[in-house]
Structure 1
Amino acid sequence: RNGHTLFGVLNYTRTPGGSRRLRSNILEPLVDAETINTRLDCVQELLQDEELFFGLQAVISKFLDTEQLLSVLVQIPKQDTVKNAESKITNLIYLKHTLELVEPLKAALRPCNTPLLRAYRDSLQDTRFAVILEKITTVINDDTRYTKGCLSMRTQKCYAIKPNINEFLDIARRTYTEIVDDIAGMITQLAEKYNLPMKTSFSSARGFFIQMNVDCSALPNGQLPSEFTKITKMKNTYSFTSADLIKMNERCQESLREIYHMTYLIVCKLLNEIYDHIHCLYKLSDVVSMLDMLLAFAHACTLSDYVRPEFTDTLAIKQGWHPILEKIAMEKPVSNNTYLTEGNNFVIITGPNMSGKSTYLKQIALCQVMAQIGSYVPAEYCSFRITEQIFTRIGMDDDIETNASTFMKEMKEITYIIQNANDKSLIIIDELGRGTSAEEGIGICYAACEYLLNLK
């Protein structure tokens, strides 16, 4: 929610699935150098090939939440209510929209060269995508689309099923069309009768209502005619309805309920035929979320001078900076070097207050996480050791809930680090022993440092 986090810095994803994928990767980075390098190869190719980058971004941004769509498609509602019927019809339209994007996604991936992107392109060759889409298009109109706006989406749901599949459905749809035409005609007549610029509007809560932009002084006696009710005014925009319009809305809703019920029966039958092939959508969901995350990494690199990390037995960062601080300050912060090797893997940082010691420590941990999720890193050059755990003891506060003082909390955290650290851990400790006297604090620091050095 707050953009000033590592997630906020890297989150240029276009789909909900991509955003979730990024979050889970930050919380649990990779520990296999080969997998990380495979991802970095993809990011490098996306940065070098603008056509591939923009082509993929254009297609990926059209995808809806495929994971959520899958979970609601396979659910069987407990009751056949109008709301459930409507959502099932909506989900089928979403499914059609998603499957129609498979071919453009394959086309966008055609020029790629890296093994991971090629593997994703090959996985989209699955014939089940075409089978499901073919089954859907035998029942659903070709021009049925996912659209934004409640009225246009309601129209799409109404006319989703092809004509001549169910005669009663065709009759109900004709009735619905006549009612909507009558509403439009009635509002036109009212506009002529009162000589006011009325227009038909729609909202999911109110149904059809009348709206007009007019200055209060243009109205007779500064008021609307008495037959209009439920009047709301915002600046010079009036929204209102009439008794006849309310009755027509009720007829419209009744007609809609019939349409949805009959459409729902056809949709359920269609979904039962599709269920056998639906597993391929899990694969599609995985491909889309992963591509979205890799595109986000590439996008972040275009906005700042990030560099591709290397993986060796040395932690070396040349002129690295804090990625979140850069976003907050809107300019590149002061850069610093970091160097740790097998034989020299312990560093004590000293300096005056407000000199940036804590920021420097946090920067090292953030760069390590960025490198291990397959992102580029804010530095001129960087090399990392693969770490399996990052332990930090930063920040000072007591905890009333667990009845722990500042000192108690410090001791608990350092105990946890000492008990769980191994030779593949990155340990960052900021001002240990601050919660007690200087002598005792130095003693604790000395003992903890001695123990950690013996670990190697």
Structure 2
Amino acid sequence: MNLAEFHQKYGYEQSTVVMQQYLDLKFAHLDYLLLFQMGDFYELFFEDAILASKILGITLTRRGKIGEDAIAMCGVPVHALEHYLNKLLEAEQKVAICQQLETPEDARKRGGYKAIVRREVTRIITPGTITEDILVSTATPNYLTSVVTVKDKAAICYVDLSTSFIAVVELPLSEVVNELAKLASKEILLSDSLRAGALAEAIHKLLQPITFQVNSFFSTNKTLKIILDFYNISDISAIGEVSELQISAIGSILEYLSLTQKQHLNKLPFPKIVNYHHFMNIDIAARRNLELTVNLSGHVKGSVLGVIDHTITKAGSRLLYQFLSAPLTQIAAINDRLAIVDFFYNNLVITTKIRGLFKKVDDLERCLTRVIMGRSLPRDLLGIKNTLAVALEIKALFISNFSIKLADNIEHLTQFLSGDTELYELISQSILDTAPNSLSEGGIIRPEYHPRVAELYMLINDGKTHIDKLKIKYQQETGIENLKISHNNVIGLFIEITARHSNKITDEQFIHRQTTANAVRYTTVELQKLESDMVNARSLVVAFEQELYVKICQQVIDKSTIIARLAESLSALDVFCNLGYIADEYNYTKPEIVDDSSFVVNAGRHPVVERSQNINSKSFTHNDCVLSEQNRIQLLTGPNMSGKSTFLRQNAIITILAQIGSFVPASFAKIGIVDKIFSRIGSGDDLFKGQSTFMVEMLETSAILAQATSKSLIILDEVGRGTSTYDGVAIAWAVLEYVHDTLRCRCLFASHYHELIKLDKLLPALTNYTMDIEELGNEILFLHRIIPGHADKSYGVHVAQLAGLPSAVILRANEILQKFENISDKQEKKILNTESNNLSLFNFNNSAQEIKIAKYSKIVQELGSINPDNLSPKEALEVLYILRSMM
């Protein structure tokens, strides 16, 4: 819609001056809900009002007309904006905030009686650019992400504006979706040229909102200039070694932040350049199946993070989330983390004391960011002050317990805990501990901090004394003992008496103001003058305190580097204390990390299962898992509900925990570095793309086989089960051969296809394992133990019985099963054994046909003996029943 069409649609020429101002701003922000400040309310008009009223559940009203059509309108109070913004953002709306930049009085002084208040859009709020505590999760990062692709490469820049964090990574195009799944971005910037492509479709499936921008938004020349201007540098090398792709990603995200934050964008640090190969790649299916940060229902409780996160601070919780989302692949870095965790594990007394002090620590990262962006409130400065004090207490704990001799890694962790005593003193001496969480009420600055503040408060306080004196004076003059002087926002100060005493007010100095049901209100010239003096003093002190507050904030900004480093130290300290704490609490052990194909886990446990069942580490059924270059694949057979999936998952989780630098739920663990973890567990249709369960399974398996390397760990459960038995066995057999011969990586493979157990004779690095089961007559007891060997049946009917199927169904299922097993024993097993010895499982056509003929030979004989011409209708019907019963 061009400007002329827009003006015609909304009746621009017939509108009031204020409405024209609104329409001008709306045309410049067509893609956003425009919140237009009018006094104490933000108002929305036309289609914005209709949509917002439905989302917010507020009344839709009317304001004026365009011709015969009324203008839809709704509004929200300025003071309650954050509450309503939260609802709009949850509904995936983007909002433009248009604020009044002057008072009506200022406007009249500037342009006369008819002048309108100057208004401008001061901020655009999108899911990836919010900073307010009430709007962002305190436990996870709030990433805005920009993705740029060229051929088979891509660059991703991601920023958390609420903590002033920014990073960039270059990676293969095939890995972009996995990386985005890790980041869990709240908003992704993407070029219009990718709108109809596979990448956009995959991102939509991740449920991460996309904001499309014109192709030129990502131009290398343009984005390079944006970076140089933003950081005030002359050469891009000042940031580090970055590619053209990374420049496009960084520059585009900086441009978007400038457009949305207007003049409030703080100077971000140089982007952290992330080496993609330094972090474990966890594919989407593995993140989902292993339930790393959320469970399958989308909740933190019941996930690995929900079990291991006992951090005290919000920043610590966010850092642990990042650790778990991106395990390391560099042995030295992992061992550095493990050494720090080991320190706190072996010094639990000091660990407990530090964790107790963390309860007094504020969210320093986000407090500082709000100060830098000019959006802070007094509680942010008080939070910085309190945290500076706690940091000194923690530093003192280290000194008193370990003198000044600390290991290098611990010294590095604690070196910034000294903070800045000057900054602490500044905030202590200037900001009242009782300051309201608002800049418009006063009561922020200590009177002793500045003589002018003390002077104004003296006037205000004296005013209260004068009010009390006037009240006593008027009580004596009128003889009304319960006469009082009160205040409200409508009529200001007033004298109030009960209605029954109104006849006692005869002096003309009392000027009638208002009569209510039970009282009469008056004023006097003397009271009006006192009120004027007090109001002036109040407004003066509020304005002056705001000026001082801005200057104090600037001094905080000047020391922002010190505060940022302290914030990093505290969050890391919280994470490592947490990992030491859970190692002791849950009986975890320190893993050994090596650079080979080793994978030895003794007495391993699933961390989530053992906690959810409220059992201790000794009660959980432990299982060993041993893989090596000579024994890379474990083929695990056994019935459902016996613990196969738990075993597969727990070993993948143990690997991830080890590579984030955590102790693990096992009695011993020696793990060769894993570069990628893949998981194919569970099933589900992709209705969005019209794909069946089997197609989804095959697509995921295909991706695993295409991307895995010799250092990867693959977890596969029931590959091929979504199709016929023979097709499924064939696919599973071929996949195992490919993993064994081509990928040569570590693999745990669970299956119901017992035919696969013959592969241990054909594939030297494959070993059969099964689930230990105890049969007690007709009862089956699942022991949840992994033992060498293989299963010879699935116990599926028994599981169905446990699920509560009717007894008649169970009895009939057992009868049919016995018939199938007899056939299988006599023919199918013989055929499969013969084919296995010939290294081929894929020539079943003739064998299958022989089996079918054997099964239905009696039916064939029966049909051959029938002469239809000799049958009566009744006899023919009986023959049909006989044939059906034979089927």
Pick closer, same or farther for the CA change 1:320–1:433 going to 2, 3 Å: same
Structure 1 residue 122 corresponds to structure 2 residue 415: yes
2:822 aligned partner: none
Q: Helix, strand or coil: the match of 1:433?
A: coil
Equivalent-residue separation in structure 1 for 2:442 and 2:590 (angstroms):
48
Cα distance change of structure 1 residues 135 and 409 upon mapping to structure 2, 3 Å threshold: same
Contact 1:70 1:281 in 2 (8 A): yes
Query: What aligned pairs does 1:92-107 form with structure 2 within 5 A after superposition?
Result: 92-107=381-396
User: Equivalents in 2 of 1:254, 1:341: separation in Å?
Assistant: 81
The correspondence for 2:611, drawn from 322, 327, 331, is 327
| Structure 1 range deviating more: 50-59 or 389-398 | 50-59
Q: CA deviation at 1:52?
A: 1.7
Q: Which amino acid aligns with 2:721?
A: R
Q: Confirm or deny: 8 A CA contact 1:407 1:433 kept in the other structure.
A: yes
The normalised TM-score by structure 2 is 0.40
Corresponding residue of 1:415:
702
1:286 alignment partner, one of 553, 558, 568:
568
Q: 1:308 aligns with which of 587, 590, 606?
A: 590
Secondary structure of the residue that 1:305 maps to in structure 2? coil
Q: Could you report, residue by residue, the CA deviation over 1:155-205 in whole angstroms, capped at 9, with x for unpaired residues?
A: x9725434261425642476379769x99xx9xxxxxx99xxxxxxxxxxx
Call closer, same or farther: CA 1:257–1:24 in 2, change over 3 Å: farther
Distance verdict in 2 for CA 1:104–1:257, change over 3 Å: farther
Deviation at 1:354, TM superposition (A): 1.0
Separation of aligned partners in 1, 2:585 and 2:442: 41
Could you say which residue in structure 2 is the equivalent of 1:16? 314
Task: Answer yes or no: is the 8 Å Cα contact 1:46–1:295 preserved in 2.
Answer: yes
Partner residue in 1 for 2:335: 37
Contact kept, 8 Å, 1:42 with 1:114, in 2: the verdict is: no
Q: Name the SS of the counterpart of 2:394 in structure 1.
A: helix
Distance 1:432 1:136, change over 3 A: same
Matching residue within 342, 353, 374 for 2:640 = 353
* 2:714 equivalent in structure 1: 427
**CA deviation vs aligned residue, 1:17-76 (integer Å, no higher than 9, x gap):** 111111111110111222222222222221222332122112222111111112101103
Q: 1:7 and 1:56 mapped to 2: Cα distance?
A: 22
Any conservation in 2 of the 1:7–1:26 contact (CA below 8 Å)?
Answer: yes
Which residue is equivalent to 2:96? none
> Does the CA-based 8 Å contact 2:361-2:383 persist in structure 1?
no
Distance 1:52 1:384 in 2: 30
User: What displacement does 1:258 show?
Assistant: 5.6
Instruction: For 1:253 and 1:420, locate their aligned partners in 2 and report how far apart those are by CA, in whole Å.
Output: 72
Equivalent residue for 1:161, pick from 425, 432, 446: 446
What letter is aligned with 1:133?
Answer: Y
After TM superposition, list the pairs within 5 Å mapping 1:191-340 onto structure 2: 259-312=541-594, 313=596, 314-332=598-616, 333-340=620-627
| Structure 2: segments with no counterpart, 5+ residues | 1-298, 472-480, 483-516, 520-532, 745-887
33 and 256 in structure 1: CA distance in 2 versus 1, 3 angstrom threshold: farther
Question: For residue 132 of structure 1, what is the amino acid of its counterpart?
Answer: L
Secondary structure of the residue aligned to 2:385 is helix
The 8 Å contact of residues 320 and 337 in structure 1, kept in 2 or not, is answered as yes
Distance of 1:67 and 1:54 partners within structure 2: 23
Shift of 1:277: 2.2
Q: CA deviation at 1:121?
A: 2.1
How many residues were matched structurally?
A: 382
Distance of 2:707 and 2:535 partners within structure 1 = 63
**Counterpart Cα distance in 2 of 1:152 and 1:397:** 49
Distance 1:342 1:115 in 2: 36
Partner of 1:212: none
Change (3 A) 1:414 1:123: same
Indicate the residue corresponding to 1:175 in structure 2.
Answer: 460
5+ residue gaps, structure 1, are: 77-83, 187-192, 195-225, 229-250
Query: Matches of 1:256 and 1:108 in 2, distance apart?
Result: 45
CA distance 1:27–1:260, shift in 2 (3 Å) = farther
- Higher RCO by CA contacts (8 Å cutoff, separation 6 or greater): 1
Asked if the contact 1:158–1:173 (Cα under 8 Å) also holds between the matched residues in 2, the reply is no
- Counterpart secondary structure, 1:61: helix
Residues 1:272 and 1:437: Cα distance change in structure 2 (over 3 Å): same
Q: 1:302–1:164: structure 2 CA closer, same or farther, 3 Å change rule?
A: closer
Equivalent of 1:372 in 633, 638, 659 = 659
Aligned mate of 2:668, from 376, 381, 388: 381
Change (3 A) 1:152 1:25: closer
Q: 1:263 to 1:353 in 2, by over 3 A?
A: same
Q: Following the alignment from structure 2 to structure 1, what is the Cα–Cα distance between the partners of residues 675 and 437?
A: 51
**RMSD, aligned CA:** 3.5
Contact 2:365 2:564 in 1 (8 A): yes
For residues 141-160 of structure 1, what are the structure 2 equivalents within 5 Å?
144-145=432-433, 158=443, 160=445
Question: Which protein is richer in helix relative to its size?
Answer: 1
Q: Which whole-Å CA distance do the structure 1 matches of 2:666 and 2:693 have between them?
A: 35
Contact 1:89 1:263 in 2 (8 A): no
CA distance in 2 between partners of 1:304 and 1:435 (Å):
38
Shift of 1:296: 1.4
Percent identity for Structure 1 against Structure 2 = 28
Q: Is the 8 A contact 2:313 2:362 kept in 1?
A: yes
Deviation per CA, 1:273-331: give whole Å up to 9, x if none. Answer: 33232112111111111111111112212322111111133111111111100111000
Q: What's the counterpart of residue 65 of structure 1?
A: 363
Distance 1:258 1:421, change over 3 A: farther
Q: Which letter does structure 2 place at the counterpart of 1:323? A: P
- C-alpha contact (below 8 Å) 2:382/2:427 kept by paired residues: no
Aligned to 1:132: 423
SS of 1:384's equivalent? strand
- AA aligned to 1:422 is T
Is the 1:172–1:258 contact (alpha carbons within 8 Å) kept by the matching residues of 2?
no
Counterpart residue identity of residue 699, structure 2: K
- The equivalent residue for 1:217 is none
- Residues 9 and 300 in structure 1, CA contact (< 8 A), matched pair in contact too: no
- Does structure 2 conserve the Cα–Cα contact (< 8 Å) formed by 1:64 and 1:94? yes
Contact in 1 for aligned 2:445/2:453 (Cα 8 Å): no
Q: Structure 1 residues 167 and 374, CA, compared in 2 at 3 Å: closer, same or farther?
A: same
- Partners in 2 of 1:4 and 1:256 — Cα distance? 53
Q: Report the CA distance between 1:452 and its aligned residue.
A: 1.3
Question: Conserved in 1, the CA contact under 8 Å of 2:607 and 2:665?
Answer: yes
Which deviations, in whole Å up to 9, do the C-alpha atoms of 1:343-363 show, x marking residues without a partner?
211111111121010011011
Q: Partners of 1:254 and 1:356 in 2: how far apart?
A: 76
Q: Which amino acid aligns with 1:118?
A: E
Moved more, 48-57 or 433-442: 48-57
CA distance in 2, matches of 1:109, 1:60: 14
Contact 2:337-2:661 at 8 Å conserved across structures: yes
SS at match of 1:324: helix
Runs of 4+ in 1 over 6 A off after TM superposition: 150-154, 176-180, 251-257
Q: Is the 8 A contact 2:599 2:672 kept in 1?
A: yes
- How far does the alpha carbon of each residue in 1:422-448 deviate from its partner, in whole angstroms, 9 at most, with x for none? 011111011011111111111111111
